């Protein structure tokens, strides 16, 4: 039980640390990520928020 709670806590903590979509930090972070690893949503959001701002 303790392991499950700790795992959930860690996941929530890591998700909370991700920059908000469309921010400068998010754009820079995605630019460093290999384009082959981008999801379709990330590509769409990158185009919308980082290229055509």
Q: Where are the domains of the chain?
A: 20-53
- Burial of 11-29, coded b for 16+ CB within 10 Å and e otherwise, reads eeeeeeeeeeeeeeebbee
Check whether 13 has a pLDDT greater than 90.
no
pLDDT score, position 5:
79
Whether the pLDDT of residue 45 is over 80: the answer is yes
Cα distance between residue 35 and residue 26, in whole Å? 14
Mean pLDDT confidence for 29-49: 95
The residue ranking higher by pLDDT, 39 or 14, is 39
Whether the pLDDT of residue 6 is over 80: the answer is no
């Amino acid at each position: 039980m303790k392991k499950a709670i700790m795992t959930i806590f860690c996941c929530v903590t890591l998700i909370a640390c991700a920059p908000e979509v469309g921010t400068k930090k998010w754009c820079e972070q995605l630019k460093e990520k290999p384009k082959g690893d981008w999801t379709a949503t990330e590509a769409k959001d990158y185009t919308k928020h980082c290229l055509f701002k």
